[in-house]
Structure 1
Amino acid sequence: MKILITGGAGYIGSHVVKQLGEKGYDVLTIDNLSTGHKEAVLYGRLEVLDLSNKEKLKEVIKSFSPDAVMHFAASIEVAESVKNPLKYYRNNTANTLNLLEVLQEFGIDKFIFSSTAAVYGEPENVPVKETEPLNPINPYGKSKVFVEKILEDMSNAYGFRYVSLRYFNVAGADPQGRIGQSYKNATHLITRALKTAKGEYKKLYIFGTDYPTPDGTAIRDYIHIEDLANAHIVALEYLLNSGESSVFNCGYGHGYSVREVVEAAKKVTGIDFPVEETDRRPGDPAILVADNSKLVNNLNWKPKYDDIEYIIKTAWNWELNKKF
């Protein structure tokens, strides 16, 4: 079975490539290496290619003839998307349209899309169900909503089948320490906390302590990267077994506050790194937690690593020993 992965040299994509390879799938990764790393691609072949190059994309897809495609390639920084929205609409939306047009041309009709909880904006109901209105509050979230709408229309028009996976807060690393998060500009709380523990940052900032939560800091649903990668595997198997187009939230269904994560990071690392409390960031909801019952019940997804200290432990091991 041949699976094409776009963005497979990035954080999430590379863990999916790893799990596909371990299961014996024939994997081809496409990545422009703007934020990914060739060393992260542990299985299959890597083709260095930008999705804006439609003619080259056609050549690669025609030659490989995949049975299904998993699409991770995207720009992901919310703050950057506000400052430079056109980059996000070009890379996340227009380039995805390029990819989808090529798949349509060659009759490839099974597609898994890397989406995000940012499509919900500031949801009224928590835990968030997939039926919650899509109301993104930044260009990053909007760029993903546009793709979801295109996929819905393609499914209705052509019999194209897709699964859109809406991620909540992804963290952790390969338990064997081979791959992990390696962004130049870390924005995720756990990664920034661990880099502060290492001394790469002088202090960790807590943005907002006046939220309507038990300790005043925002609450988020943190999912281990291995469990998220496994959600892609069960979604792929669902499509390969004639499953209908659908959307699933990817989270654990409960959350941790910023202060709880910071304390867990200090416990795991054994380092009492400096923390400074400051004002809220615009657009940060108080609580963002997934209702994952659809993923659990419909795809029989069984997470293994629902433990914040284990999540941080694997991320810390990667930070201390990372190879790229």
Structure 2
Amino acid sequence: MTKTVLVTGSRGLVGRRLCASLRNDGFSVKELDLLGHGEHYGDVTRLADVETGIQGCVGVVHLAAVSRVVWGQRDPELCWRTNVTGLQNLVHAALAQSSKPWILFSSSREVYGQAPSLPVAETTELNPLNVYARSKAEGERVVLDARSQGLQTAVVRLSNVYGCTKDHADRVIPAFARAAVEGSPLRVEGSNHTFDFTHVNDVVRGLRALIGLFESGEQSLHPVHLVSGHPTSLGELAAICCRLAKSDAVVTEAAPRSYDVARFYGDPGRAREFLGWEPEISLEAGLIRLIEDFRQEHALHGAMEASA
């Protein structure tokens, strides 16, 4: 019998790749996303949408969120309603099912705030610095508390996932890669700010490994990083993009935003131990792929304009 998994936020960067991977492996996938159409449309803040979506599912991968720090700062109420109330709706709907579907919750490295030491392990105390981070920390509490009510749950913490030209244009890697290809200025907000960049294909492999543990009946999964474990500063990232694109684009520096974490890279050891997972795509290899994709899009756009 085909097993059905609900993926919320299915039209996002990770969601699109995960849905394809699940379908390729014989799962039936139900989608719930504000950007979806027809049966794939849904809003996690509406309990009725969630209750309809979860029917008949063995599990849920919850990716839907106000997913950017800056968006949370601009509209804190929407961020909290989506990221916390939406998740509470999901837990409520799961508990109402006779089969009790598992829930895999996508959290963020933002929950640590500015960690006291690097690399950051999953046991590091949470210290969220902004609205988005606080909503993710509260989401972790919600899904872990749901275990006492009989749900299988797990938390995965992600960091600066990249790898698709259809990602939000102002996220740092797609913004830098596109600018390098087009020869536009690369604006670096805090050149010494350092982060852990993880390719979307590696993240999807990690999520699939966690789903495998759910399917085997695992009950006590600890929060786990799906991170590269390698630090790269924004200044270095801009330089790498220009080098790989063979671009003479100008790199300009600007002051960092006051609500951003300045430094993070994570320890992927727990994922290696419990999931047999480690990243396979280096930052440079991932950027080469992305830059080539942007170059092809740029050439196609130019050809279309020329023929118009």
Q: Give the structure-1-normalised TM-score.
A: 0.85
Structure 1 regions of 5+ residues with no counterpart?
Answer: 39-44, 174-179, 210-216
Q: Distance in 1 between matches of 2:277 and 2:241?
A: 27
1:208 and 2:210 correspond: no
1:183-223 superposed Cα distances (whole Å, 9 cap, x missing partner): 2xx33221111222244x942222234xxxxxxx1221111
SS of match in other structure, 2:124: coil
Alignment length (residue pairs): 294
Which of 150, 175, 184 is the aligned partner of 2:142?
150
Relative to its length, the structure with more helix (as a share) is: 2
Please state how far the C-alpha of 1:167 moved relative to its aligned partner. 0.4
C-alpha distance in 1 between matches for 2:50 and 2:74: 29
Identity of aligned residues (%): 23
- How high is the TM-score relative to the length of structure 2? 0.89
CA displacement at 1:55 relative to structure 2: 2.0
Q: Do the aligned partners of residues 309 and 3 (structure 1) sit closer, same or farther apart at CA in structure 2, a change above 3 Å counting?
A: same
* Amino acid paired to 2:45: S
Structure 2 residue 48 is the aligned partner of structure 1 residue 48: no
Alignment of 1:20-35 (within 5 A): 20-33=22-35
User: How much has 1:321 moved relative to structure 2?
Assistant: 4.3
Partner of 1:58: 51
1:300 matched to 2:276? yes
Structure 1, 187-196 or 79-88: larger mean CA deviation: 187-196
> Which of 271, 274, 282 matches 2:247?
271
Q: Please give the per-residue CA displacement for 1:134-166, whole angstroms capped at 9, x wherever unaligned.
A: 1111111111111110111111x2231111110
| In structure 2, distance between residues paired with 1:164 and 1:299 | 13
Distance 1:265 1:79 in 2: 23
**8 Å contact kept, 1:121–1:134:** yes
Mapped to 2, the partners of 1:303 and 1:182 lie a distance apart of 20
> SS at the partner of 1:73?
coil
Q: Which residue of 1 aligns with 2:167?
A: 182
Contact between 1:171 and 1:222, CA under 8 Å: does it hold in 2? yes
Equivalent pair of 1:31/1:46 in contact (CA under 8 Å) = no
Q: Cα deviation per residue 1:84-120 (whole Å; 9 max; x = unaligned)?
A: 1001001111111111111110142311111100111
The equivalent residue for 2:236 is 260
Match of 1:196 among 165, 172, 179: 179
Q: Could you say which residue in structure 2 is the equivalent of 1:168?
A: 159
Give the one of 183, 204, 212 matched to 1:229. 204
* Cα displacement string for residues 280-310 of structure 1 (whole angstroms, at most 9, x for unaligned residues): 32143442001110011111113221x2221
Please give the residue correspondences for 1:91-102 in structure 2 after superposition, counting only pairs within 5 Å. 91-102=82-93
Give the match's secondary structure for 2:167. Answer: coil
Give the Å deviation of 1:172: 1.5
Q: Flag the 1:30–1:285 CA change in 2: closer, same or farther, 3 A.
A: closer
Which residue of 1 is the match for residue 286 of structure 2? 311
- Structure 1 consecutive aligned stretches of length 4 or more whose deviation exceeds 4 Å: none
CA distance in 2, matches of 1:290, 1:296: 13
Conserved? CA contact 1:21–1:27, under 8 Å: yes
Distance 2:33 2:202 in 1: 23
Q: How has the CA–CA distance of structure 1 residues 282 and 153 changed in structure 2, closer, same or farther, with 3 Å as cutoff?
A: same
RMSD: 2.0
Counterpart of 1:85, as a letter, is: P
Amino acid at match of 1:247: P
Per the TM alignment, residue 246 of structure 1 is displaced from its structure 2 partner at its CA by 2.0
Q: Which amino acid is 1:21 matched to? A: R
* Counterpart contact for 1:261–1:308, Cα < 8 Å: no
